[in-house]
Amino acid sequence: MAEGAAEVSLPESETKAEAVPATRRGRRPNPRIAQMKRTWYFLRRNTLAMVGIVILVIFIGIAIYALTQPIPWTQLQQLRASDGVTCASLNVTGCVCTYPAGSVAPGPTCYQTPSGYPSDVAPTIDVSHGTLGSLPLGSITVAPTNPTFYDIYAGLLRGSDWSLGVSVAIVGTGALIGLLVGAISGFFGGWVDEALMRIVDIFLSIPQILFVIIVIAVLVTLPIFQPFGMRVALLIVGFVIVWWPFYARIVRGQVLVVREQKYVEAAKASGAGGGRLVLRHIIPNSVYPIFVQMSLDVGTIPLLLGTLVYLGFPVFPTIYFPEWGSMAALSVYSGVGASTFTDALLTCQFGACVIPWWQFLFPGLMLFLYAISVNFLADGLRDALDPRLRR
């Protein structure tokens, strides 16, 4: 065994664990894809995670389908009818007939549920007295003075749109801001770190729901947020303001660890400046813990949104809104024929009202399924990505 020349090692492809198979001629197999395949393998073995994935895929499918429908889809379409016309004569299913307040003529106004869901219970509507009646499955009335009907089924489908879309937007933006703040704070340390962390502490010490309410209540007065489209933006902005500190704190903790690693020092020894270090070394290695938090938050935010609306908070511009939380809230109003939450509460004391159970069960069920499927997926992802559980 001579020294000097004999140091070149044998070709490593025989001696390394992952003998990466050659794909096409000349094309190197991408190691990042191999990592993803490995993560997928572990996810597949986790039953709960698979259940979560399946449910989530269904939700995404629903959301995409709902997106393809026009916006006022959930509102019942008013079929103008002339006098003497009845639903039967119109030969339309899913038709609900009402009589305008205090009149017999000119005739019924027919509403059709766009989903075509047939009504199987005879309608008992008393719109004349300004109360909300109980309508069969497939329809819901909202306001006594403005009998706009509302399709639960379509609302459920549309709700997945909102839940997914809004929560992804909130989580994405919040995580981005939190990542930047946490990375800067953790990397530079000193008074920057102290100042930013005190801000984070202040934000974190206020209860979330309360904070969101306050923020949105303050911001809603701004003229910029009056139009409907901007209301959605208001919602997102409000949540992001409350949510980014969680991410900042997680990222900062990880950055403090990564900062001490030798490869950061090696990059410094090669002459890397602060920006390059943060972008290329610190952030990619600190990002892992917030993935789990992000996936959990995607499940939590619709719950929070629903809670807000249920409490009567005017998040949306109209009280009828195809979002799960608001649908569940509206069930209370419709049950008692009230139009505000306090009225509903007062009327509903001591079980003196009957809330149509299907009107809040289904939205609640959707929320529950959504949140739990996201949680399963997040757990599975965390287990699959954990380098210590190399199985």
Partner 1 sequence: MEAVSQPVLETPVLPAEVPLPSAAAAPVVEEPTGPTERNPVVLDVRDLKTYFFTYDGVVLALDGVSFKVRRGETLGLVGETGCGKSVTAFSVTRLIPDPPGRVISGKVLFRGIDLLWGLDAEARIRIDPKTGRAKVRRSFRRIKAGLERMSAVRGRGISMIFQEPTQAMNPVFSVSDQISEALILHQGTHIVDDILAATPGAPEVRPALEALVEVTRAAGGPDASRQAAAKVGEAAHLSSFGTQSFYLVRDSELGSEDMVRRLEKGLHRVRLSRLEKRYLRHRRRRMVVEEELHDLYLAEMREGRVDRHQRRVLRARRTRLRLAGFYYGVWGIRGRVQRPLRDEAFWRTVGRLEEVSIANPVQVARGYPHELSGGMLQRVMITMALAVEPTILIADEPTTALDVTIQAQILELMRGLKTRIGTAILLITHDLAVIAEVADRVCVMYAGQIVETAPARDLYQHPLHPYTQGLLASIPNLERPDKKLSSIPGSVPDLIHPPEGCRFHPRCPYAMPVCKEVRPPTTVEGSEHTVACHLYKGPVAME
Partner 2 sequence: MINDSTPALISCYNLRKYFPIRGGLFATKIGDVRAVDGVTLDVRESETLGLVGESGCGKTTVGRLMLRLIEPTSGHTYYHPSPEILARLESLYATLKQGVGAEGNGGTPEAQAALKELDEIADQYSLYRLKHSKMKELRGKLQIVFQDPFSSLSPRMLVRDIIGEPLTIHHAGSRSERAQRVAELVQEVGLNPEHLWRFPHEFSGGQRQRIGIARALALRPEFIVLDEPTSALDVSVQAQILNILKKLQAEQRLAYMFISHHLSVVRAMSHHVAVMYLGEIVERAGTEDLFSRPLHPYTQALLSAIPVPDPTLKRERIVLKGDVPSPAAPPPGCRFHTRCPAVMPVCSHTAPPLIEVRKEHWVACHLYPPTEGAAAAGPLTSRAPAGEGDLGVAGAPPAP
Angle between helices 228-259 and 208-219 (to 10 degrees): 130
Continuous segment of H or E residues that includes residue 347 = helix 341-347
> What is the SS3 assignment for 362?
helix
28 interacts with partner 2 by CB under 8 A: yes
Nearest distance in Å: CB 174, partner 2: 23
**The 3-state secondary structure of 285-310, one letter per residue:** HHCHHHHHHHHHHHHHHHHHHHHHHH
The answer to whether 38 contacts partner 2 (rule: CB under 8 A) is: no
> Beta partners for 97?
110
- In the complex, the smallest distance separating the C-beta of residue 28 from partner 1, rounded to whole angstroms, is 19
Q: Is the Cβ of residue 16 or residue 80 nearer to partner 1 in the bound state?
A: 16
**β-sheet bridge partners, residue 155:** none
SS3 label, residue 341: helix
Q: Between 201 and 265, whose beta carbon lies closer to partner 2?
A: 265
Taking CB within 5 to 8 Å according to partner kind, which of partner 2, partner 1, none is near residue 349?
Answer: none
Q: Does 385 sit near partner 2 (CB under 8 A)? A: no
Which residues ranging from 19 to 48 are in contact with partner 1 (CB under 8 A)?
19, 38, 41-42
Least gap, CB of 275 to partner 2 (angstroms): 11
Q: Which stretch binds partner 2 (CB under 8 A): 5-13, 100-108, 115-123, 300-308?
A: 5-13
Choice from 256, 267, 348, 369 touching partner 2 (CB under 8 A): 267
Rounded least distance, CB 289 to partner 1, Å: 23
Residues 54/59/63/65 CA torsion (nearest 10 deg): 60
Per partner kind, with CB cut-offs from 5 to 8 A, the member of partner 2, partner 1, none near residue 284 is partner 2
Quote the CA–CA distance of 370 and 389 in Å, as a whole number: 27
Selected from 14, 16, 191, 352, the binder of partner 2 by CB under 8 A is: 16
Task: State how far the alpha carbon of 224 is from the alpha carbons of 162, 234, 236, 308, in Å.
Answer: 21, 9, 14, 22
What does the chain come to in residues?
391
Q: How far is the CB of 38 from partner 2 (least distance, A)?
A: 12
Residue 38 interacting entry, from partner 2, partner 1, none, C-beta within 5 to 8 Å by type: partner 1
The CB density around residue 347, as the number of other CB atoms within 10 Å, is 15
Residue 390 contact partner, candidates partner 1, partner 2, none, CB within 5 to 8 A by sort of partner: partner 1
Quote the least distance from Cβ 272 to partner 2, whole Å. Answer: 5
Q: Taking the alpha carbons of 178, 182, 185, 187 in that order, is the dihedral positive or negative?
A: negative
CA 354 to chain centre: 30
Binding site residues, partner 2, CB under 8 A: 3-4, 7-9, 11-13, 16-18, 20, 28-29, 31, 35, 261-263, 265-273, 276, 280-281, 284-285
